[in-house]
Amino acid sequence: DFGVEGHRQLHVGLHIDHWDRLPLRHRDRARNRICINLGREPRYSLFFNLPMMDMFRAAGLRDPEDIYADFRGLYLGRRFMEACPDYPVVGLRLDPGEAYILPTDNLIHDASTETNRFTDITLTYLGLFFPEGLKPEASKNRQPAGAG
C-alpha cells in the first residue's frame, strides 16, 4: 500500500479497493475481505462506516449526473470528506490471531501499524464471507467478478 516518489515512501491512506471492478451503484455486490492478523502486535483497520452509495447521498451528489462523472467512486472519498468533515473514522483493533470481515470494495478504509516494532504479517482472502446465520438472501444469486 505505498508508492515511491524520489526516495520517499508514500502511503495510500484512506482508499477503496477495486478488486471486483464494479461501478459505484453495484459496489454492494463486491466480495468481502477477511484479514487475519498473523503478526506479533495489534494492527488497526480504519474506515468510514458507510457504504459507498450512502456516502454519495450524504455528500449531496446527484444520481445519475454525478455517478457518471465518477463511475467507480474514485473521487467520492474526497467529496464526502469535504461535505462531512466531522464524520468520524472508526478504528478497529485487531490483536494477533484475530480477524475481520469488511466489504473493502464498498468502504473507504485503511490499515495502520504505525506504532508497531515488528513486521506486520496478515493473511487476506477475498470471497463472500458472512457470519453464521447472517447470510443475506441476495448472496444466493450473486457471483464474484469473473465468474459465470
Which grid coordinates belong to 41? Answer: 502486535
pLDDT at position 114 is: 85
pLDDT tens column, 88-145: 999 999 999 999 999 999 999 999 988 889 999 999 999 987 767 776 665 555 555 5
pLDDT at position 11 is: 60
pLDDT tens column, 25-52: 889 999 999 999 999 999 999 999 999 9
> Average pLDDT for residues 12-36, to the nearest whole number?
89
Burial letters 13-46, b for 16+ CB under 10 A, else e: eeebbeebebebeebbbbbbbebbbebeebbbbe
* Residues 145 and 22: beta-carbon distance below 8 Å: yes
What is the C-alpha separation between 68 and 50, in angstroms, rounded?
A: 21
DSSP state of 54: H
What is the C-alpha separation between 95 and 21, in angstroms, rounded?
A: 31
